[in-house]
Amino acid sequence: MGTVLRAEHGKRAGFRESAKDIVRFCGLGGLEEIGRNMSFFEYKDEIVIFDAGLEFAGEENPGVDYIIPNTTYLEQNKHKIRGIVVTHAHYDHIGAIPHIMEKLGNPTIYTTPLAREIIKKRQTDYPNTPPLDIEIVKNRDVIKVSDNFTLEFFNIIHSIPDSISIMLKTPVGNFVYATDVKVEYDAKGVEYGLDEFRRVGEQGIHGLFLESTNAEVPGKSLSSELIMDNIEDIFLKTKGRMVIAMFASMLTRVGEVITLAEKHGKKIAFSGLSMKTNVQIAQNLGYIKIKPGTIIQLADIHKYKDDQIVILSTGAQGESNASLMKIATGENRSFQTRPGDTIMFSSSIIPGNERAVQTLKDSLARQGAHIYHSKNSDIYSSGHATADELKAIIKAVKPKYYVPIHGYYFMRSTNALLAQECGVLKENTIVADNGLVVEFSKTGFQVDFDHQLPAHYVMVDGLGVGDVGEIVMRDRKMLAEEGMVVIVATLDKKTGTVIKSPDIVSRGFIYLKENVNIVEDMRKKIKGILAQMPAHKEVEMDYLKGLIRDQIGQFLYTKTKRRPMILPVIIYV
């Protein structure tokens, strides 16, 4: 292992200005995070976009629903947009669609049938958005979207069916955009899922854009076959009811589990609306095949024997309002955990959710459930290629230039090293951040590190998109840490004297009812400050507020070693 320097990539390699044929690439999201994936390619007055995802907000952004890519540049150039390609139906690739399509002039979306249905389903939550124009594509479809851009789609393997990657043909050369993708292995360890990459590779690839999510994970991932064998072992030894918790979006695994249940004569009930909806969509399109009679209502499980029952549930991340948590807290009317039940978490834990998942497991274990999870059993693997799988893809595509996408800097720079191990020249690996434009000519590329397109966070909070900025976030964090104290001082406009004892309201600081002394001392202190003000004139408001903020702040810090936010309100009557 090691790492890669921005400088080591060469901001410029083999680039000749004379070449007017320049394809510009820019990532607007996904290059400094996991999520809100969105990139575009530009050639003269043509733009084609790839994905428009969301990122779930972490504790750095409390209260925010999610974060979407910044589309300022695209809005300013919407006349150039020739289409948006959506690679698959996960929210980190489709989640921004309801918020941006209108601003971009509602361009055509090119995607697969499953993604189309899931995008349309989500769109129903935003009734005021104009109808989308979605064009279906399938494996090996070739679509000329503009004079200079031709898209050739090809199927790849990910954790949801109907995922595609794209070869973008341009006057400069062919580019492959591959995300999210993994390689699979059969029982003998022989890899598959690379044929299409080899096929496009044979056409000569100028640049490969490949995801980095698991670039730091050495080796190969566990094969689906192995995981399904392990799940089958658990099926065989379980005599009671089973709950299998996983993301409703992991539709490939969901389908495999349903088939396995049928093989063992079990019935499937769904718990969690998104699970039910997603399976229905996938079933309608033929991606999941279910025999008549397999699916039963959760309310009907009492009509079956315990060992016939498999419940597919959402909520494996310990989400407080999801199905599995409701089972754990006894709020689910049809299913209460009891000794003999088995609960399987076929999932990894998203960083930040550890405590919630621990609480959930604890609660289920206390009720007597047997618990299997990815730490004690091999029943989960990620949908993202690990180091060896990434290398297999790079070797199949054989690109001249390599741009790791999707992941934090260190993941992407690690990914760049993998490409170098596969023979891509060091100076031809390009680790560019969100908003940086990479210009490709036939002979080389250059990156202008000094000019970035707008790429900062756009936060979605309730109905607001982008109205929660840094100031609001900073305040939320400060309020969370130490709480706040509001001080209302009422003064006589004419005399400047205090009319009534200051009102003090506090939240999240200390419980005032139990700290009468501090409150009294604070009142005295405030009166003292106000008494020093010159009489018979209105004091400059900001000056007085500043004085109260500083002196009361200092007083409270001395008393408590805490720094609550202090909000003085001065009222002249």
Residues 300 to 319: which contact a copy of itself by CB under 8 A? Answer: none
**CB 53, min distance to a copy of itself, A:** 18
Give the neighbor-by-neighbor strand order of the sheet with 498-507: 498-507, 484-491, 565-572
CA distance 407 to 403: 12
Among positions 464-503, residues that touch a copy of itself (CB under 8 A) are 464, 467-469, 471-472, 475-477, 479-484, 486, 488, 490, 499-500, 503
Q: How many CB atoms lie within 10 A of CB 146?
A: 17
**Contact call for residue 229 and a copy of itself (CB under 8 A):** no
**Among 58-66, 112-120, 248-256, 450-458, the segment contacting a copy of itself (CB under 8 A):** 58-66
CB of 436 to a copy of itself, least distance (A): 13
Candidate residues 216, 229, 256, 388; the one interacting with a copy of itself per rule CB under 8 A: 216
Radius of gyration of the chain (CA): 29
Residue 56 sits in the site that holds a copy of itself (CB under 8 A)? no
Interface positions, 506-545, toward a copy of itself (CB under 8 A):
507-511, 514-515
In angstroms, what is the minimal distance from the CB of 418 to a copy of itself? 12
Which parts of 10-49 interact with a copy of itself (CB under 8 A)?
32
Q: Closest distance between a copy of itself and the C-beta of residue 215, in Å?
A: 10
Q: Is the Cβ–Cβ distance between 181 and 192 less than 8 Å?
A: no
Taking residue 257's Cβ as centre, other Cβ atoms within 10 Å add up to 24
Minimum distance of a copy of itself from residue 410's CB (angstroms): 4
Q: Closer CB to a copy of itself, residue 60 or residue 540?
A: 60
- Is 125 exposed, middle or buried, given 0-12, 13-18 or 19+ CB atoms closer than 10 A? exposed
- Nearer to a copy of itself by Cβ, of 47 and 364: the residue is 364
Of 161-169, 179-187, 190-198, 369-377, which segment contacts a copy of itself by CB under 8 A? 369-377
Residue 130, C-beta contacts closer than 8 angstroms, at least 6 positions apart: 101, 102, 106
Minimum CB separation from a copy of itself for residue 348, in Å? 12
By CB under 8 A, the residues from 382 to 421 that bind a copy of itself are 408-410, 413-414
Q: Which residue has the tokens 């969301």?
A: 54
User: What stretches of 246-294 adopt beta strand conformation (E)?
Assistant: 267-271
> Of these, 286, 462, 528, 546, which contacts a copy of itself (CB under 8 A)?
462
> Given candidates 19, 132, 222, 365, which one binds a copy of itself under the rule CB under 8 A?
365
Q: How far is the CB of 331 from a copy of itself (least distance, A)?
A: 20
- Bond preceding residue 542 cis, omega within 30 of 0: no
285 or 472: CB nearest a copy of itself: 472
Q: What's the one-letter identity of residue 10? A: G
The amino acid at 515: N
Is residue 560 a contact residue for a copy of itself (CB under 8 A)? yes
Stretch that binds a copy of itself, among 3-11, 19-27, 111-119, 204-212 (CB under 8 A): 3-11
CA torsion 260-265-271-273 (nearest 10°) is: 70
Q: In the set 352, 423, 528, 546, which binds a copy of itself (CB under 8 A)? A: 352
3-state secondary structure 178-243: ECCCECEECCCCCEECCHHHHHHHCCCCCEEEEECCECCCCCCCCCHHHHHHHHHHHHHHCCCCEE
Chain residues 66-125 in contact with a copy of itself, contact rule CB under 8 A: none
Stretch that binds a copy of itself, among 192-200, 213-221, 303-311, 328-336 (CB under 8 A): 213-221
Q: Which H/E stretch holds residue 529?
A: helix 516-531
Question: Which span sits near a copy of itself by CB under 8 A: 11-19, 52-60, 117-125, 521-529?
Answer: 52-60
Return the bridge partners of 489, or none. 570
Task: Identify the bridge partners of residue 46 per DSSP, sorted by sequence position.
Answer: 43
- Is 376 a binding residue for a copy of itself by CB under 8 A? The answer is yes
Shortest reach from residue 414's CB to a copy of itself, in Å: 8
Per CB under 8 A, which region of 10-18, 195-203, 528-536, 563-571 contacts a copy of itself? 563-571
Chosen residue from 228, 371, 425, 519 binding a copy of itself by CB under 8 A:
371
- Using left for φ > 0, alpha for ψ between -120 and 50, and beta otherwise, residue 425 falls in beta
**Nearest 5 degrees, angle CA 151-CA 157-CA 163?**
45
